[in-house]
Amino acid sequence: MTTVVAPSTAATTAGRGRLRSAGTAGAMVATVALLPFVAFLLVFAVYPLINLVRLAVSNTAVQNAVFVSEFTGLSNFGRVLTDPAFWHSVLITTAFVVLTVGLTLVAGLALALLVDRAVVLHHLARNVLIWPAVITPVVVSVLWLLVLSPTVGGLNKLLRTFGLPEQSWLNSGPGAFMSVVAVDVWHWTPIVFLFLYTALKGIPSELFEAARVDGATERQILFQVTIPLLGPALVVVGLLRLVMSIKAFDEMFLLTGGGPNGATNLISLDIRSQFFDRLDFGYAAAESIVVVVATLIIVGSAVLIRRRSVGGAS
Partner 1 sequence: MKSAEGGRRIFPGVEIVLGLVMIIVAVPLAWTALLAFMPNRAIVSPTWDFSFWLGNFKDLYGPGTAFAAQTVNSVLLTAGTVVLCLVIGSIAGYSLSRLGPPRWITLPALALAALLPLVPPMTLVPGLYLTMNALGLLGTVAGLTLLNTLFNLPFAVLLMKSYFDQISGDLREAALVDGASEAQAFMRVMVPLVRPGLAAVGIYTAIMAWNEFLMALTMTSGGTSSPLTVGIASLVQPFEVTWGQMAAAGVLVSIPILILAVIANRQIVSGLTAGAVKG
Q: Give, as ranges, the residues between 33 and 62 that touch partner 1 (CB under 8 A).
A: 33-34, 36-38, 40-41, 43-55
Report whether 93 contacts 290 (CB < 8 A): no
Q: Which stretch binds partner 1 (CB under 8 A): 10-18, 72-80, 83-91, 219-227?
A: 10-18
Contact flag: residue 112 with partner 1 (CB under 8 A): no
Q: At what angle do helices 47-56 and 281-310 cross, to 10 degrees?
A: 120
CB atoms within 10 A of CB 155: 17
Whole-angstrom Cα distance, residue 256 to residue 261? 10
**Least distance CB 82 / partner 1 (angstroms):** 20
Contact flag: residue 186 with partner 1 (CB under 8 A): yes
Contact flag: residue 225 with partner 1 (CB under 8 A): no
Contact flag: residue 217 with partner 1 (CB under 8 A): no
In the chain, alpha helices (H): 2-14, 23-41, 47-56, 75-81, 84-117, 122-128, 131-134, 137-148, 154-161, 173-201, 205-213, 218-221, 227-247, 250-255, 267-272, 281-310
**Least distance CB 80 / partner 1 (angstroms):** 12
The residue from 64, 70, 151, 204 that contacts partner 1 (CB under 8 A) is 151
CB-wise, 63 or 161, nearer to partner 1?
A: 161
The residue from 18, 63, 64, 312 that contacts partner 1 (CB under 8 A) is 18
Contact flag: residue 77 with partner 1 (CB under 8 A): no
Whole-angstrom Cα distance, residue 285 to residue 77? 9
Report whether 76 contacts 56 (CB < 8 A): yes
CB atoms within 10 A of CB 186: 16
Site string for partner 1, 250-289 (x = CB under 8 A): x--xx------------xx--xx--xx----x--xx--xx
Contact flag: residue 161 with partner 1 (CB under 8 A): yes
Length of the chain: 314
**Least distance CB 110 / partner 1 (angstroms):** 9
Contact flag: residue 176 with partner 1 (CB under 8 A): no
**Least distance CB 311 / partner 1 (angstroms):** 20
Residues 6 or more apart from 68 whose CB is under 8 A from it? 60, 61, 62
Using CB under 8 A, count the residues that bind partner 1. 109
